[in-house]
Chain A
Amino acid sequence: MTPGLAIILALAVPLVGMAAILILDRAPNFREAATLATGAILIALTTLVFLSVGEGARPGFVLTTVVGGLPIAFQAEPLGAMFALLASVLWVVNSLYSIGYMRAGDEKHQTRFYMCFAIAIASAMGVAYAANLFTLFFFYEALTLSTWPLVTHKGDDKARHGGRVYLGVLMGTSMALLLPAIVWVYSIAGTTDFTPGGVLAAPLQDSGPLPAILMGLFLFGTAKAALMPVHSWLPNAMVAPTPVSAFLHAVAVVKAGVFAVLKIAVYIFGIDFLSASGAATPFLWIAAISILLASAIAMHQDNLKARLAWSTISQLSYVTLGAMLATSMGAMGGALQIAAHAAGKMTLFMCAGAIYVAAHKTLVSEMRGLGAKMPITFILFFIGAMSIVGLPPAGGSWPKFLLMLGAADAGALFAIGVLILSSLLNVVYLLAIPVMAFYLEPAGAGARSQGSGGKPIDWRAMKEAPLLCLLAPALTAALALLLFLFADPLYRYLLPMLET
């Protein structure tokens, strides 16, 4: 099979899977098998593309030309190939988890749930392989629409409100800011193709504040990247069932946002032009503020999922910060952060879901001493948190390192301070949770609530979540550790994206 064909199939296979899921509505076991089989095929396809891109190929194809020479076209390049592979692998992991979670919770409308997931992953593939801004926008919107039923899955008032904010912010910003920005680029440069070195440098020479205006439209138009102040959809989307939060709001949706930001910075503006025109500087500050402010808010969240959501906002801005540093190392740090954060944050979300399924606890304050009952979950949580903080031997440490290098290259020393401070805040609000769970007595277990913990784990008293709900976070936690060990091959793999 040629890699070009693999790209077509990567888009088509999830849709076929969706049809299969619909047909198998009445037979849940076969329905779930359809999801997993689709996922397995998808991984094979994205791996094929990934490898061929690694050999220097840039496979692609044109689906159709829509308006005035604007094609819906796809082309794989290192960043997109990585994103697609990551998303497809994590989709399968997440599907395993979903099956355990949805069945344990006896949720309604499971067929609709898996169908929307399949469309969402197809859209994510479209975003990953898009060869131009126009195609990217196409699938960006499809991703928003296909995930709306997932966010509002519970169907109650809270879900309705969350869904309204979700759709309102994501569609509103993309239509009001992103679309005009894309058309504007088309009007200026005559193309929206992702081109190494960018397309705006020549036509926008000495054009005053226009590059900065365009950058602003792009950054705030891509609300999936959750740069403040267009972040509010993300905490609201936490009304969704946990697998949705885990996959969409740690991997597919939010990463589609920062992925788009990175691609626009690298392939539309071009790192050199971004740096020379000064278009990035104001947004560097906004990203920095976003990182710290979101962390500060996360500290005050007692609801675990809300805390993770705010942490996500903070972590996503690392990628934006990396892009806005306008240096090679910054962009590279951002790219690695996409992978590292996906693995780490998904682990955390799935652990949160496991805690909910097994112990019905959602508040951090209720999780004291829970480590004795759910040791595996909290160990996995610990690994995920380490990756987010950026501690070796977890994958999250390299992106932080590269981002600091990039900040030094760009002469933006304050960014280094921001990154260090943010890591410290992460320690406080993330690593503290497993520590509390293992070392503190459960609330209400007497006055001596401090320093008395550390009891040996009583394996008989364990009350863990269903096996599938443990297996999945174990896989992502392993991925988080692997990303530490194999950061160098990934770094080398991504390097060609910075060539001009």
Chain B
Amino acid sequence: MNLAAQLPVLPIIIPLIAAPLTILLPPRRLKGLLPYVFATLVSWIVFAASAALLHSVATAGPISYHMGDWAPPIGIEYRIDLANALVLTLVSGVAALAFPFSYASIRAEIDDRQLSMFYAMALIAMVGLLGVVITGDAFNVFVFVEISSLSTYALVALGAARDRRALTASFNYLVMGTIGATFFVIGLGLLYQATGTLNMADLKIQLAGESNRMVEAGFAFILVGMGLKAAMFPMHLWMPNAYAHAPSAVAVFLAATSTKVAVYVVIRFIYTVIGADFDFAGAAFNWLIAPLAVAGMMFASIVAIFQDDLKRMLAYSSVGQIGYMLLGVSFGTEQGLSASLVHLFNHGLMKGALFMAAACVVLRLGTQTCAGYAGLARRMPLTAAAFIIAALSLVGVPGTVGFISKWQLLAASFDSGRPWAAFLVVGASLLAVIYMGRVIELMTMREGAGGRTKEAPATMLIPLYILVAANVYFGLNTEMTVDLAERAAVALMGDAR
């Protein structure tokens, strides 16, 4: 047994073991550095393993790993192809930045004694998301969804030290999240009834393109359950409060990863498990996913314009952006799917950067209202500059990842004969110009209440600027994102046939 062969399991097994160990580390010695450094190192190792997996998949093709050497469909299979390697890299990459970033922010926002618990929870939340992405077993998805959700509820609730509303936000999230997970598992149950298997690839074979009421109902339950987790409009109401009141560093990680993972699951089930050639899948595309995606894009963006709380604004913006991803999926074409995957990755980069900048502001100015951003360009120039670049990326200015996403989505719209979709997409991004422009104007053109403030510490600024640089780099060099996403889309469509 060599280690390279065990690579697929490392991103899961390492943090899973590390999480309980983190609890044992003293939270109050050495200013809480022990759990922080330990968790950060773990996240870096996980990122390295994920990047190695991506490289291996990109060059040598999909990997199938059998848990405990039990062959699928009996045993649990970890199956890594380009689509999930890409998401895996995003999640672990954001984690590898969010962990080092968290130190100053989290120490200011939660009780010192909870620090070890916090990092343990954060590792578990990460492992849950990674597991959802990596596994090739449908029921295993549910298990990991619950692992990540339960830890996330706790993480959100930790925001209560700063703002008591975090408790209701967390409770709301818990109720909605549980409903979502329940729907999902009901759907799985129905599919299991129909086929007698839970392995994704095997499900596809057993379903054999034959439709019946049970399969349709199962699919509907899965779609609704994951739609809830993905904050798909109109099931998004848990999200703005959860993001706004969670500790800032938690919001960074969640905003950049968790909804994206849920969108990935939707894509995976539609293409790999169900297969796009079902009549009802086509109907779901045209009459359910597309209209809801468009409604989400428009409605959430309009709501975002009227938010006073910056993080809520960003959260609503995320709901809108998830609309873009689902719209791309709903085209049912390779190009649309690849546009979705690209945007899934890119949006993680932009929202991560924006929430990081917001966390810096919370740390130094103690505010997250839009009005509190007045004069930020003079008060915290580095943070403000990072925020502006990330905001331009969100709007889709050329030279940033946002532009790439938009271009891909527009091209997919025109090529699939849907010019209307292209104009809806640009219409929604105009709304983004408004809500982002409003904040940028406040930052640059208004005088703030105080004078120049201390900038955020280097542990926060460096990860922030790495993400900002990624926003620009992947906006100019799309070899990794677009090319891999296109290949992933081709593979997924191949799965579907």
B residues 424-480 in Cβ contact with A at 8 Å: 426-427, 429-430, 433-434, 437, 441, 444-445, 475-478
Q: Select the residue from B399, B408, B434, B477 with max chain A CB neighbours within 10 A.
A: B399
Instruction: Name the CB-closest residue of A to B410.
Output: A183
| Residues B419 and A184 in contact, CB atoms below 8 Å apart | yes
**Which one, A67, A141, A149, contacts B478 given CB within 8 A?**
A67
Min C-beta distance of A399 to chain B, whole Å: 32
| Residues A172 and B430 in contact, CB atoms below 8 Å apart | yes
Min C-beta distance of B375 to chain A, whole Å: 11
CB-CB under 8 A for A141 and B398, given A168-B437, A172-B430: yes
Instruction: Name the CB-closest residue of A to B415.
Output: A187
| Residues B411 and A187 in contact, CB atoms below 8 Å apart | yes
Bound Cα distance A180, B437 (Å)? 21
| Residues B397 and A145 in contact, CB atoms below 8 Å apart | yes
Bound Cα distance A145, B397 (Å)? 9
1/0 per residue B387-407: CB within 8 Å of A? 000001001111100001011
**Which one, A67, A159, A180, contacts B423 given CB within 8 A?**
A180
| Residues A171 and B411 in contact, CB atoms below 8 Å apart | no
Q: Select the residue from A138, A149, A167, A184 with max chain B CB neighbours within 10 A.
A: A184
Min C-beta distance of A417 to chain B, whole Å: 37
1/0 per residue A158-181: CB within 8 Å of B? 011001100110011001110110
| Residues A67 and B398 in contact, CB atoms below 8 Å apart | no
CB-CB under 8 A for A176 and B423, given A164-B441, A168-B433: yes
**Which one, B398, B422, B430, B475, contacts A137 given CB within 8 A?**
B398
Query: B482: CB under 8 A from chain A?
Result: yes
| Residues A67 and B419 in contact, CB atoms below 8 Å apart | no
Q: How many residues of A contact B (CB 8 A)?
A: 31
CB-CB under 8 A for A180 and B397, given A163-B445, A168-B437, A172-B433: no
| Residues A187 and B398 in contact, CB atoms below 8 Å apart | no
| Residues B482 and A68 in contact, CB atoms below 8 Å apart | yes
**Could you say which residues of chain A place their CB within 8 Å of the CB of B411?**
68, 183, 186-187
Instruction: Name the CB-closest residue of A to B417.
Output: A187
Bound Cα distance A182, B397 (Å)? 15
Query: B414: CB under 8 A from chain A?
Result: yes
| Residues B396 and A175 in contact, CB atoms below 8 Å apart | yes
Query: A152: CB under 8 A from chain B?
Result: yes
Instruction: Name the CB-closest residue of A to B482.
Output: A67
Min C-beta distance of B163 to chain A, whole Å: 32
Bound Cα distance A277, B251 (Å)? 54
**Could you say which residues of chain A place their CB within 8 Å of the CB of B422?**
180, 183-184
Instruction: Name the CB-closest residue of A to B398.
Output: A138
Bound Cα distance A145, B433 (Å)? 12
**Which one, B414, B433, B444, contacts A171 given CB within 8 A?**
B433
Instruction: Name the CB-closest residue of A to B433.
Output: A171
Bound Cα distance A180, B428 (Å)? 13
Query: A445: CB under 8 A from chain B?
Result: no
Bound Cα distance A483, B182 (Å)? 77
| Residues A179 and B404 in contact, CB atoms below 8 Å apart | no
**Which one, B392, B429, B433, B445, contacts A152 given CB within 8 A?**
B445
| Residues B410 and A160 in contact, CB atoms below 8 Å apart | no
Bound Cα distance A159, B441 (Å)? 11
Query: A142: CB under 8 A from chain B?
Result: yes
Bound Cα distance A172, B395 (Å)? 11
Min C-beta distance of A423 to chain B, whole Å: 38
| Residues A142 and B398 in contact, CB atoms below 8 Å apart | yes
1/0 per residue A124-153: CB within 8 Å of B? 000000000000011001100100010010
Query: A105: CB under 8 A from chain B?
Result: no
| Residues B445 and A160 in contact, CB atoms below 8 Å apart | yes
Query: A155: CB under 8 A from chain B?
Result: yes
| Residues B445 and A179 in contact, CB atoms below 8 Å apart | no
1/0 per residue A174-207: CB within 8 Å of B? 0111011001101110000000000000000000
**Could you say which residues of chain A place their CB within 8 Å of the CB of B429?**
175
**Which one, B397, B408, B414, B477, contacts A64 given CB within 8 A?**
B477
**Could you say which residues of chain A place their CB within 8 Å of the CB of B445?**
152, 155, 159-160, 163
Query: A66: CB under 8 A from chain B?
Result: yes
Min C-beta distance of B416 to chain A, whole Å: 10
Min C-beta distance of B102 to chain A, whole Å: 32
Bound Cα distance A149, B445 (Å)? 9
| Residues A187 and B406 in contact, CB atoms below 8 Å apart | no
| Residues A141 and B423 in contact, CB atoms below 8 Å apart | no
Bound Cα distance A157, B338 (Å)? 44
| Residues B423 and A184 in contact, CB atoms below 8 Å apart | no
| Residues A175 and B414 in contact, CB atoms below 8 Å apart | no
**Could you say which residues of chain A place their CB within 8 Å of the CB of B430?**
172, 175-176
**Could you say which residues of chain A place their CB within 8 Å of the CB of B396?**
175
B residues 359-408 in Cβ contact with A at 8 Å: 392, 395-399, 404, 406-408
Instruction: Name the CB-closest residue of B to A176.
Output: B426
**Could you say which residues of chain B place their CB within 8 Å of the CB of A141?**
397-398
Min C-beta distance of B408 to chain A, whole Å: 7
**Could you say which residues of chain B place their CB within 8 Å of the CB of A179?**
406-407, 410, 426
Bound Cα distance A241, B311 (Å)? 36
**Could you say which residues of chain B place their CB within 8 Å of the CB of A145?**
392, 397
Min C-beta distance of A232 to chain B, whole Å: 16
Min C-beta distance of A124 to chain B, whole Å: 15
Known contacts A160-B445, A163-B445; 8 additional CB pairs below 8 A are A66-B476, A137-B398, A145-B397, A164-B441, A167-B433, A171-B395, A179-B410, A183-B410
24 A-B pairs (CB sep. < 8 Å): A64-B477, A67-B404, A68-B482, A70-B407, A138-B398, A141-B398, A145-B397, A149-B444, A160-B445, A164-B437, A175-B395, A175-B396, A175-B430, A176-B423, A176-B426, A176-B427, A179-B407, A180-B410, A180-B414, A180-B423, A183-B407, A183-B413, A184-B419, A184-B422
The 4 A-B pairs with the shortest beta carbon distances in the complex, nearest first, are A187-B414, A183-B410, A138-B398, A176-B426
